[in-house]
Chain A
Amino acid sequence: MNLKVKYFGLIAEITNCSEETIPFSKHTVAEFLDLIFSKYPALKNKDFKVAQNMQLVNIETKISSAEIALLPPFSGG
């Protein structure tokens, strides 16, 4: 499946784009992160959360939706 992956804040600075399409043939968020870390090694030591279809998920969650976002620490207000 093709994932639409969105990046924000510090994460988008490292990936140098705010959104891209990434083909993904495995299952979990952990496997997705392996793919992301091989593409962007500089993300390995960064603090971020993963959202699937606008809900935060953990590394064991199965990827079932096409929209994934990498969210650095929130700093609104």
Chain B
Amino acid sequence: MKADKKIKNVFRQGAISSEFIANSIAKHQVKTNIGAHNIFLGQVRADTIKDQTVAAIEYSAYEDMANAKFHEIREATFEKFNLTCMHIYHSLGTVKSGEICLFVFVSSTRRKEVFKALEYVVEEIKAHVPIFGKEIFEDETHQWKINS
């Protein structure tokens, strides 16, 4: 299937719920040419830094550029891998530790494509999309997250 040319809004306000993810999976039951799905869920980790524990991450983004980058990543992924469809959602605003902030969902006729494609998409997002995470500690101080 060709990638959709229209730039989509990838951002959701707040955490991505289990219900949203379950519904997204259910919607694919009508696409019976699919034989394999692969899902990445990014979860906010309660890191401890200098005796302070991360309670939440507050996400902001250069939204227009970020959505354009997500679109480029989608196009490049469809070029490289034989996928049936792909969905990406990222949180904005506050996401508490233990909640989901990134949901990437790729589907194909066969399993090998989805294993490779999912890693590619997630690494591209981490490296190239202008999203900024502010780690809020339990005492309400904060620091700016840097991806490792």
Q: Contact residues of A with B, CB < 8 Å?
A: 6, 8-10, 51, 54, 69, 71-77
Asked whether A74 lies within 8 Å of B147 as measured between CB atoms, the reply is: yes
Interface of B is mostly: mixed
Partner of A8, one of B60, B102, B127: B60
* Known A9-B134, A9-B144, A10-B144; contact A76-B129, beta-carbon cutoff 8 A: yes
Contact B131 A74 (CB under 8 A): yes
Give Cα A54 to B65, complex, Å: 5
State the main secondary structure of chain A at its contact with B: loop
Q: Please report B residues at the A interface, Cβ cutoff 8 Å.
A: 42, 59-62, 64-66, 68, 90, 101-102, 122, 125-134, 144-147
Q: A8-B62, A9-B134, A54-B68 are in contact. Are A74 and B144 (CB under 8 A)?
A: no
* Central interface residue in A71, A72, A73, A76, by most chain B CB within 10 Å: A76
Contact of B132 among A6, A51, A54, A75 (CB under 8 A): A75
- Quick one: closest B residue to A54, CB to CB? B65
Q: Name A53's closest neighbour in chain B (CB-CB).
A: B65
The interface residues of chain A lying within 8 Å CB-to-CB of B126 are 74, 76-77
- Contacting residues, chain A, for B132 (C-beta < 8 A): 8-10, 72, 74-76
Q: How far is the CB of A25 from chain B (nearest CB, A)?
A: 26
Query: CA of A51 to CA of B102 in the docked complex: distance in angstroms?
Result: 24
Q: How far is the CB of B104 from chain A (nearest CB, A)?
A: 9
> Does B62 contact A75, Cβ atoms closer than 8 Å?
no
Q: Which residues of A have CB within 8 Å of B134? A: 9
Contact indicator B65/A75 (Cβ below 8 Å): no
Assembled-state Cα–Cα distance A69/B131 (Å): 13
Chain A residues closer than 8 Å to B131, beta-carbon distance: 74-77
